[in-house]
Structure 1
Amino acid sequence: MRKRIQAWLRGPIIAIGSMALYAIALGCFLALMLLVISMEEGGENLSSSTLDMTRIVVLLSQGIGFETDTLSLSIMPLLLTVLLIGLVWSFSRKICTDIRAYVSGVVVWIFINVMGTQSLPVGLLDWPALVCVKSAVVFSLGFAGAALSKDPLSGQLRELIRHHVSDGVRRTIRTGLMVGVIMMGVYLVMGLITVIVWGVLNRSAMDTLFADIGMGTGSRILTTIASLAWLPNLCIWAVSWLFGAGFHIGELATFTPWIGQGRSLPPLPVFGLLPQAVGDEGIRFAVVLIPLVVGFVAGLASMAMKSGFRIIVGSASDPLDR
C-alpha cells in the first residue's frame, strides 16, 4: 500500500521537477538577452517581460503556437523540445517509471501548462483541449523512453525474438535498420553543412536585418544563440531543399533550388540566411541526385560489410554469393 502511494506521489515530482529546471534555465537566458537588448537600445526595460516570454517559449517548445498583431508563430523549436523530453526522461528514469507515476505526472504536467496559458499578452493558436493533448504527448514521450529503457519486459522481448526468429531474418532487419539510420544521419549532416553554407553566403543579408532592427553586438550574439533552438528545423528544411522538394513558411515564403521567395517574411535575422534560387542548372541537377547516390552507396556498403550481409563477389567457397 505504501509503495502504491509513493508511486502516485512521484509522478508530480517528475512533472514539477522537469518543468521547473527547464523553465528556470530558459528564463535566466531570456532575462539576460532582454537585459542586453534593453541596455544597447536604451529604451524601456524589457526584462519585465521575462516571465511572459518564458511561458510563451515553454508552450511553443511543446507545439503550442501564438500570434500577435504582426506575427504568427507555430514552428516548434525542436532543439528545446528534445531537451524538454530529455529532462522528463532523466527525472523519470531516476525517480519512478510506474504506470501510476505516469498518470499522476501527466495530469500535473497538463495542469502546469494550462495554468501557463492564463493571462498571456499574446493569443494562442490552439484550443485548450489541443493544448492539453500536445503537452501530454511531450511528457508521455519522455516517460515512455525512460520506462522502456528500465523495463525488464524489453529484455524478455529480445529473448523471445531471439528464440522464435531465425538468425537470417534478424540480421536482415538489423541491417535494414542500420542502413536507414546511417542514411538519415548522413542526410542530417548534409543538412547541417547546407545551413552553414547558407549562413556564410547570406551573412550580408543577416547583417542588414540586424542593422535595420538596430541591434548592437551583444544583442546580435544572444539572439543568434537563441535562434539555435530552431537549428534542427533548419537542418530538416535544408534536407528537403537539397532533394528538390523545398519548404514553405506558411503562405509567406517558398524556397526550392528553383525558387527563393521570402519577401513577405517578418524582419527576423534568422530568416536572412534562407537561400536564394540556384542559377546553375548543373548544380541543381547534382543536388537532386544526392538521395540516389547516398542510397546506392549505403546499399553497397550494407552488402559488403561484415556487420551486414557479407556478400563477397567471386568467393570460391560459396558460389551462392556470386
Structure 2
Amino acid sequence: MTSHSPSSPVRRGVPMPLWLQGLFELGSVAVLSWLLVLLTVLMVWLADGFDDLGLPGGFALSGQVWLLAHLVPLQVSLEPGAGLPATTGALTLVPLGLTLVPFALAWAAGRRLARACWEGQFWQPYLTGLAGYAGLGAGAALLFRTEEVSAAPWAGALFPLVPVALGAFVGAFRASRSLPGLIGVNAAAWVERTSQYSRWAGSYVWAVLRAGFLAAVAGVGIGGAVLAAALLWNWNDVVTVYQRLGTGAPGDTALTALQLGYLPNLVVWAFAWATGAGFDLGAGTHVSPLGTEPGPVPLLPVLAALPPEQLPAWALTVVVLPLLAGVLAGWWFVREGENHLDDWMAIRLPARWLTYPLSALLTGAFTGLVAGVLTMALSWIAQGSLGLGRLVQVGPDGLQVLLLFGAEVALGAAVGCALGPWLEREPPAAPLRPGAPAQAGRSAAGAEPAGPVAPEDSAAVPSPER
C-alpha cells in the first residue's frame, strides 16, 4: 500500500475515484462468480441434464445456487407428488467448494484496491464496494425466487458479505503487508508505549493464536487424508452407486459437480470423525469411530465410502492424529514463538521443576482453546439442513468438536512445548540466581528473555504497570 504524507503527489494512473473503484471491483466479483455457476448449469442443461427445468428454470437455478454459495439460506416448498407429501423447510447446507470462488475473487479484488490507496484510505473503496455487493445480493434474492425456492432479501444482502468482506480484507493485507496502512492506526507504536510485561503478553498471545491456527490447519489436513483413504478403500462401491443410478453422462456430470461443491464439507466431516465427535446424516444416522448408527442416507456415490456399522476396536486409534496436530503446534510454538509466560513464571518463582511443566500445560491449554474455537466455527459452517424429510441435521456438532479437538490439541501441544527444547537440542536452563548476568538465562524456547531477567536490570527496563 502506498504510504501517505501531506506532500505526496496526487495519485496517477487511477482512472476513477476510490469509492467507484470499490463498487467496480467487488461488483465484478458478484458477476463473475454468478457467470461461473450459470455456465455450469447451462452445460448440464445443453446435455439434457434438466429435461423438465427449461432455460428459465436453469437461469433461476443458477441464481439460487449463487445465493446458497454465499451462505444465504433458501426456503424450499415442494408440492406433493410421487406418493410423497408436501415438504417445506430451509436449505442451509452450504457448498463450501463454491463459496471459495467469491472468496478467491474478492481476495484478488482486495489486492488491487490496496495498491490503489494511500495509507488509511482502504476503507473508502472497501465499504462502498461491500454496500454495492449487499445491494446485488438483495436483488438476486428478488430476481431468482420461484414458487418452490426463495430467499429473504435481507439475507441476500447480509450473508454474502461474510466471504467477500473476509476475502477482500485478507487480500488487501497480503498486498500491503501493513495493518496500519489498511486501518490507519499504528498498533505497533501503541504497543511500544506500554510496559515490558504488556509487550510480553501481546507477543505471547500472538504466538498462541498462530499455534492454534496451525493446529486447526493440520486438523483439516487430517480430514482430507481420512477422506482420501476412505474413497480409495471403497472405490468399487462408489462406482457401483454411479452405475445403479444410471443417469448417463449428463447426470453423472451434475452429480460429480455437486459432490465437488461439497468436497470441503466432506473434508470437515472426515476431520470431525477423526476427532471422535463424528457427524450426522439426518435424524437417527450418526457416524463416528465407535461405529455407524444405521439409517437411510441420500443416494450419492461419495456416501458409499461411509464406514460400516461395526468397526474394529483399533479404529479408535484414529484420535491419535489430532494429538499429533497438537504436538506439531507445540513444537512450532517453541521454534517460532516467544514463551514469555515461561519467562515471567521463571522470574517470579525460582522452582524451575514446577514452572517449566506448568507453563507448558498452560500454553497447551491456550493453544487447544484457539484450535477448538476455530474448528468449531468451521464445523458450524460445514453443517446444515437439506430441508427435506429426515435431512434436517447434516454435519458435525460444533460444540463436540470444540471439546474433543480442543482437549486433544491441548494435550499434544503441552507435550510439544515440553519436548520442543530438547528436539531443538537447546534444553531450558535453570532460572537466574539473584545477581547472575542476564546472558546466563534462556527461555524455554532456547531464546534470550526479552525483558527484566534480574534485579540489576530494573533500572534499565521499565517495570510492569499495575
TM-score normalised by the shorter chain: which range applies?
0.7 to 0.9
Residue deviations 1:198-217 (CA, integer Å, cap 9, x gap): 22233344334323432235
Larger CA Rg, structure 1 vs 2 = 2
Q: 1:283 aligns with which of 315, 327, 350?
A: 315
User: How has the CA–CA distance of structure 1 residues 306 and 109 changed in structure 2, closer, same or farther, with 3 Å as cutoff?
Assistant: closer
Greater CA deviation, 211-220 or 80-89? 211-220
Whole-angstrom distance in 2 between the partners of 1:320 and 1:111: 54
2:297 maps to: 265
1:313 is the counterpart of 2:345:
no
| Structure with higher helix content | 1
1:132 maps to: 157
Greater CA deviation, 121-130 or 77-86? 121-130
Residue 21 of structure 1: CA displacement?
Answer: 1.3
Q: Which amino acid aligns with 1:131?
A: G
User: How has the CA–CA distance of structure 1 residues 132 and 144 changed in structure 2, closer, same or farther, with 3 Å as cutoff?
Assistant: same
Residue 122 of structure 1: CA displacement?
Answer: 5.8
- SS of 1:275 mapped into structure 2: coil
Residue deviations 1:45-102 (CA, integer Å, cap 9, x gap): 8666432221111101111233253796321112221221221232233146643434
Q: Which amino acid aligns with 1:113?
A: G
Q: 1:10 aligns with which of 21, 27, 48?
A: 21
**Residues 85, 142 of structure 1: 8 Å contact kept:** yes
User: How has the CA–CA distance of structure 1 residues 45 and 80 changed in structure 2, closer, same or farther, with 3 Å as cutoff?
Assistant: closer
Identical residues among aligned pairs (%): 19
How many residue pairs are counted as aligned between the two chains?
314
User: How has the CA–CA distance of structure 1 residues 112 and 18 changed in structure 2, closer, same or farther, with 3 Å as cutoff?
Assistant: same
**Residues 64, 125 of structure 1: 8 Å contact kept:** no
1:223 is the counterpart of 2:264:
no
1:299 maps to: 330
1:64 is the counterpart of 2:72:
yes
Greater CA deviation, 163-172 or 177-186? 163-172
Q: 1:211 aligns with which of 212, 228, 243?
A: 243
**Residues 257, 277 of structure 1: 8 Å contact kept:** no
2:140 maps to: 116
1:91 maps to: 109
Residue deviations 1:254-279 (CA, integer Å, cap 9, x gap): 22222424643332334333333452
**Residues 138, 155 of structure 2: 8 Å contact kept:** no
Residue 300 of structure 1: CA displacement?
Answer: 4.6
Whole-angstrom distance in 1 between the partners of 2:46 and 2:307: 32
Q: 1:235 aligns with which of 267, 280, 287?
A: 267
- SS of 1:206 mapped into structure 2: helix
Q: Which amino acid aligns with 1:107?
A: A
**Residues 202, 275 of structure 1: 8 Å contact kept:** no
Whole-angstrom distance in 2 between the partners of 1:86 and 1:172: 31
- SS of 1:179 mapped into structure 2: helix
User: How has the CA–CA distance of structure 1 residues 200 and 250 changed in structure 2, closer, same or farther, with 3 Å as cutoff?
Assistant: same
Unaligned runs of 5+ in 1: none
1:50 maps to: 58
Greater CA deviation, 237-246 or 182-191? 182-191
Greater CA deviation, 79-88 or 257-266? 257-266
Whole-angstrom distance in 2 between the partners of 1:210 and 1:72: 28
